[in-house]
Copies of this chain bind each other. A is one copy, B any other.
Amino acid sequence: MIGYAFMGAAHSQAWRNAPRFFDLPLTPVQQVICGRNPQALAAAAQKLDWRDTETDWRTAIARDDVDLVDVCTPGDTHAEIAIAALEAGKHVLCEKPLANSVAEAEQMAAAAEAARANGVLAMVGFTYRRVPAIQLARQFVDEGRLGTIRQVRAQYLQDWIADSGAPLSWRLDKTRAGSGALGDIGAHITDLIQFVTGQAITGVAGLTETFVKERPVATEFSGLAGTGGAELGPVTVDDASIWLARLTGGAIGTFEATRFAWGRKNALRFEINGSAGSIAFDLEDLNVLEYFDAGEDTRTAGYRRILVTEPEHPFISAWWPAGHGLGYEHAFTHQVVDLTTAIAAGDQPEPSFADGLAVQRVLAAVEESAQSGSNWVTVPTSGTEPA
Q: Would you give the shortest CB distance from A161 to chain B, in whole angstroms? A: 12
Residue from A10, A276, A323 with most neighbouring chain B CB atoms (10 Å) = A323
Q: A307-B284, A373-B376 are in contact. Are A323 and B158 (CB under 8 A)?
A: yes
Scoring A residues 288 to 329 as 1 if CB is less than 8 Å from chain B, else 0, what string do you get? Answer: 001111100011111111110111110000001111111111
Q: Is the CB of A292 within 8 A of B244?
A: no
Residues of B within 8 A of A49 (CB): 20
Chain B residues near A98 (CB-CB < 8 A): none
Binds B, one of A82-90, A189-197, A251-259: A251-259
Per a CB cutoff under 8 Å, which of B153, B159, B205, B303 touches A244?
B205
Most B Cβ at <10 Å: residue of A160, A300, A302: A302
A17 interface hit (Cβ, 8 Å): yes
Q: Which stretch, A72-80, A107-115, A266-274, A339-347, touches the partner chain B? A: A266-274
Q: Which residues of B contact A290 (CB under 8 A)?
A: 302
* A225, chain B: closest CB distance, angstroms: 7
| Contact status of A254 and B256, CB under 8 A, knowing A326-B328, A375-B205 | yes
Interface presence of A334 (CB below 8 A): no
**Which A residues are within 8 Å of any B CB, using their own CB?**
6, 9-10, 12-13, 16-17, 20-21, 47-49, 136, 150-151, 153, 155, 158-160, 162-164, 203, 205-207, 209, 211, 223-225, 240, 242-244, 246, 250, 252-254, 256, 258, 260-267, 271, 273-278, 283-287, 290-294, 298-307, 309-313, 320-330, 373-376
Q: Is the CB of A254 within 8 A of B254?
A: yes
Which residues from B are CB-within-8-Å of A258? 151, 273
CB distance from A35 to the nearest CB of B (A): 17
Q: Compute how far the CA of A290 lies from the CA of B287 in the bound complex, rounded to whole angstroms.
A: 19
Q: In the assembled complex, which residues on chain B have CB atoms less than 8 Å from the CB atom of A207?
A: 205, 244, 246, 252
Taking a contact as CB atoms under 8 Å apart, the answer to whether B162 and A273 are in contact is: yes
Question: Which of B160, B253, B320 is the one whose CB lies under 8 Å from A322?
Answer: B160
Taking CB as reference atom, which chain B residue is nearest A241? B252
Query: Is the pair A261, B271 in contact by a Cβ cutoff of 8 Å?
Result: yes
Is B16's CB under 8 angstroms from A323's CB?
no
Q: Please measure, in the bound complex, the distance between the C-alpha atom of A103 and the C-alpha atom of B74, giving whole angstroms.
A: 54
Instruction: Please tell me which one of the listed residues B10, B17, B264 contacts residue A320 in the complex, with CB atoms under 8 A apart.
Output: B10
Q: Given contacts A205-B205, A206-B244, A211-B250, could you give 9 more A-B pairs where the C-beta distance is less than 8 Å?
A: A151-B261, A203-B374, A240-B252, A284-B287, A290-B302, A299-B306, A302-B305, A302-B307, A325-B328
- Cα distance, A209 to B245, chains bound together (Å): 12
